[in-house]
Structure 1
Amino acid sequence: MKLSSILLLPALLRSGLAYTELSDDTLRTLPRPGPDFDIKNGALLAPILRTRVPGTPGSEAVLDHFIDFFTAELPRWRITFQNSSQVTPVSNGKAVPFKNLIATRDPPWAKNEGDVGRLALVAHYDSKLTPEGFIGATDSAAPCAMLMHAARSIDAALTSKWDAIAAEGVESIDGLDEDAHKGVQILLLDGEEAFHFWTHDDSLYGARSLAEEWEGTMNAAMSTYKTPLHSIDLFVLLDLLGAKQPRIPSYFKTTHWAYKRMASAEHRLRKASLLKSDGKSFFPEAQKGEKDQWLGGYVEDDHVPFMARGVEVLHVIPNPFPSVWHKIEDDGEHLDIPTCEDWAVITTAFAAEWLDLEGHFETKQTKRSIHEDNETWAGEKTELFD
């Protein structure tokens, strides 16, 4: 990503989306990554902490890690790829391959691609070519692991919600409440980093290709959403996360309400002592007003090709950048793991609230009720056989 003085004007916010806060009991139930974020052996994070320049074996290995994760742990998610190849300033005229992974979970009654509006949770998985051996732990190995954790954490609740709706006899998406039309996508993008020097041509390779392709891909004629691009209700981009005491500005007026929602989730988690990092808020601009400064396109990142086409963006990137930005020190040893874990939980809470999953997580109270029901049932069975 690059700091820029360009101001990109986002389109009008798609308003009216339902958004239900999680109860304190549900917040307490949200899982933490724990050992999965161990930098040496963690099942989610460790395999990403390696060089992964596009078109190299390291990149392929990390992509395989993502595929294995969704295939083994989240089989209900549909995995697709959007591939492109482009010549870079250092490739000597040869085309470099770029591979974007898209993992999608839509309601089971959505028969057509254009039936569902989606929350897109996004990070780039490539690492910078220089300095040699650059890992890019905050940039953006850790954000990728955070999204994997969030996807896994909401999966069962999504199933519970949709099973409950289906139990009412739903046969099609027509006539359902608005929240029943919601789906979610994890976009793991390739080629964000510049190979030589950041320009509009030498950067955002995967994002530029995907945004262009989705803009030109037409859904079925009677679809609610004209293209895959139109189906993105909100594009939430995580980048440069994993250092201590991040300060996330609210960059865009039209998504400030979503920024405040994420800030509220963090505040409630912190108030309930469910976060491990120090007590300073990651979101200091929740009270920002109309007359305050809005940075707009000050930071160029993977959101730019999407926002230029009218997609609404919540850019979760700190200002100032971490001190290790684009330095060899941006490795696993320089991550603050409590902060990484907190980001994973905050992202999970935000996604769960966006998708209206309150009441569909197995909370301690739910487990206790199930246990009590089982005990009652067992007692009744004993009496029957006495």
Structure 2
Amino acid sequence: MGIVCGHSIWHRLISLLYLVQFALAYQQLSEETLQNLPRPGNDFDIRNGKLLAPILRTRIPGTPGSTAVLNHFNDFFKTTLPDWTIDFQNSTSKTPVSGNKEVPFVNFIASRDPPWASKGDVGRLTLVAHYDSKYTPEGFIGAIDSAAPCAMIMHAVRSIDAALTRKWKDMEAQGDALDAGLDAYTGIQVLFLDGEEAFQTWTNSDSLYGARSLAETWGETSHSPMAIFRTPLSSISLFMLLDLLGSKNPLIQSYFPTTHWAYQSLADLEGRLRKLKQFKSSPNYDSETGQTVDEPQWLADAEKGEHLIKAWTTIQDDHIPFLRRGVDILHIIDTPDRTGFPPVWHTLNDDGEHLDLPTVEDWSILVTAFAAEWMELEGYFDGDAQDTPEKMYTRKTEL
């Protein structure tokens, strides 16, 4: 079953129910919806783009650059997604370069739940990236690591927000909210984590500052005794971590047998979007000849069975403190030759100019599609709002 530590029996049962729901009642996005998912337009422009450009700066924890990026996240959600709840989780720690001085770390958290559901009863798809940049080399930007993943997530949640509103209003109007099974208690949250990077040399104490603090805090924070989920940690139905994304021709492996089904669902969406010629980075995008060449495949382990996936523990990233506490992880990280990271990794070349923007946009569309399918939003995007109730909402199979 992979590496699972600290799972309560109840949380594992809930996770199993989510998996069964996914398998039995999962509704794919139609081709029409996939072709009409919102595009970021100029929002990923590296100099003036509203989403990406403000993140492309040094943002070492505790510095003005870090605060500026936090303000960017906060302003985005407050002005663009006002129905989301914003939280900050704060901690401090000494680092190898700060001596006796405590460095502040701030995790940004935004969530949206069904309006009728209590906090402790909601299982959340959790989209995660770190927003800090490395202490060295001086001037390091970290475009793939991880400014671009943050912008991808911002685009994805903005793209599905109106559809979420339509769906939940429709469920309330039809009186289906309390009869819809787990779908009535499925929410979504975003974690932009601070302090992922080591200040000096990667060790258990000099890395993952924000992730370690948040995982510990959430694991020790109890919901009400009658809540379905005992803690905020156990309410994470899937921890989808994006890292090192934005270079051309990425290769993404599947790392955990317990979430290989989610990896395969993402791979299926990649294949469908490629078939529909929706990937700008594709050699077949907007082809005028009508001839096609073989498509690359980012998620290269899709055809493997779950039994062939071995749990990895060698890639250290923000998922580790959550994995050790039993959270289900989908780690989306580029390992182009299966042994290393993109060539710009941890160099000054990891800047906006070295991003492959068609690839960045394609990732944003793929993450949008995955989140939309997870939240069962087929029929609720723009242009579908006037559809019949039968099309807009398909009652789930009772578990």
Provide the residue aligned with 1:326 in structure 2: 346
What is the deviation of 1:175? 4.0
Q: TM-score, normalised by structure 1?
A: 0.90
1:287 equivalenced with 2:303 (yes/no): yes
What is the CA deviation profile of residues 115-154 of structure 1, one whole-angstrom value per residue up to 9, with x for unaligned ones?
Answer: 1100000000000000000000000000000000001000
Partner SS, residue 30 of structure 1: coil
Tell me if 1:260 matches 2:248.
no
- How far apart are the structure 2 equivalents of 1:188 and 1:219? 23
Instruction: Provide the C-alpha distance between the structure 1 equivalents of 2:192 and 2:306, rounded to a whole number of angstroms.
Output: 33
Alpha-carbon distance, 1:324 to partner: 0.2
Of 52-61 and 353-362, deviating more is: 353-362
Q: Partner residue of 1:384? A: none
Distance 1:64 1:184 in 2: 21
Give the whole-Å Cα distance in 2 for the aligned partners of 1:241 and 1:89. 28
Number of residues of Structure 1 aligned to a counterpart in Structure 2? 359
For residues 329-344 of structure 1, the aligned pairs below 5 Å read: 329-344=349-364
How far residue 29 of structure 1 moved from its aligned partner, in angstroms, is: 1.3
Query: Match of 2:167?
Result: 161
Q: CA deviation at 1:367?
A: 8.1
**1:142 corresponding residue in structure 2:** 148
> Do structure 1's residue 222 and structure 2's residue 242 form an aligned pair?
no
Q: What SS does structure 2 have at the residue aligned with 1:143?
A: helix
Which residue pairs with 1:178 in the alignment? 182
Q: How does 1:303-318 map to 2 (within 5 A)?
A: 303-318=319-334
- The Cα of 1:289 is off from its aligned counterpart by 2.4
Q: Is the 8 A contact 1:234 1:311 kept in 2?
A: yes
**Retained in 2: the 8 A contact 1:9–1:296?**
no
Tell me, which stretches of 5 or more residues in structure 1 are unaligned?
Answer: 1-6, 371-386
* 1:346 aligns to 2:366 (yes or no): yes
Partner of 1:86: 93
**Structure 2 counterpart of 1:106:** 113
> Which one-letter code corresponds to 2:127 in the other structure?
L
Is residue 260–residue 306 contact of structure 2 (8 Å, CA) maintained in 1?
A: no
Q: Distance in 1 between matches of 2:306 and 2:160?
A: 34
Instruction: Quote the Cα distance in structure 2 between the aligned partners of 1:103 and 1:47.
Output: 18
Partner of 1:128: 134
Cα distance in 2 for residues equivalent to 1:94 and 1:185: 32
**SS of residue in 2 equivalent to 1:184:** strand
Q: Is 1:190 paired with 2:210?
A: no
- Tell me how far 1:9 sits from its aligned partner: 4.1
**Displacement of 1:177:** 2.3
Contact 2:4/2:325 (CA < 8 Å) preserved in 1?
no
User: Which position in structure 1 is the counterpart of 2:397?
Assistant: none
Q: 1:187 to 1:337 in 2, by over 3 A?
A: same
Partner residue, 1:383 = none
Match of 1:288, SS state, is coil
Shift of 1:178: 1.7
The corresponding residue for 1:378 is: none
Q: 1:299 aligns with which of 312, 315, 325?
A: 315
C-alpha deviations, 1:145-180, integer Å up to 9, x for none? 00000010000000010010010236xx65432212
Query: Does the CA contact (< 8 Å) of 2:195 and 2:209 recur in 1?
Result: yes
**Amino acid across the alignment from 2:30:** S
Q: Give the aligned partner of residue 42 of structure 1.
A: 49
The counterpart of 1:116, out of the listed 112, 122, 126, is 122
Cα gap change, 1:8/1:198 in structure 2, threshold over 3 Å: closer, same or farther? farther
What's the counterpart of residue 3 of structure 1?
A: none
Q: Is the 8 A contact 2:257 2:311 kept in 1?
A: no
Highest RCO, 1 vs 2 (Cα 8 Å, sep ≥ 6): 1
Q: State the match for 1:275 in structure 2.
A: 279
Aligned to 2:286: none
TM-score, normalised to structure 2's length? 0.87
Determine if contact 2:62/2:104 at 8 Å carries over to the other structure.
yes
Once the two structures are aligned, what percentage of the paired residues are identical?
60
1:73 is aligned to 2:77: no
